Amino acid sequence: MIGLLRLIFVFAIVYMVIRFFTRHIFPLLLGTYVNKKMSEMHQNQQANSSSQKKREGEVKIEVKPESNKRYPKDSGEYVDFEEIK
């Protein structure tokens, strides 16, 4: 009987500790983490926007270079496949 009461008491203490942690400590840790990341993103955005300022009307066109992997027409032979049933 004493073992059962001790088990219930331990479960109650663990429950209260977890409840306290999730209600008070976890939101504080999460809030500070979110605020830290928001300030980092804000600083990165300001750094990127100041370095990429363009004049009004300026246009930049980015083109991929053409691939030089074209094969000549006589590099192989055409094989006509027939469907086998």
Written as tens digits, the pLDDT of the chain (85 aa) is 889 999 999 999 999 999 999 999 999 999 999 999 999 999 988 877 766 666 777 777 888 877 666 666 666 776 777 888 7
Alpha helices per DSSP H over the chain: 2-20, 26-51
pTM over the 0.85 mark: no
**pLDDT of 7:** 93
The residues near 60 (Cβ < 8 Å, ≥ 6 apart) are 54
**pLDDT of 30:** 93
**pLDDT of 79:** 72
The residues near 54 (Cβ < 8 Å, ≥ 6 apart) are 60
Distance CA 21, CA 14 (A): 11
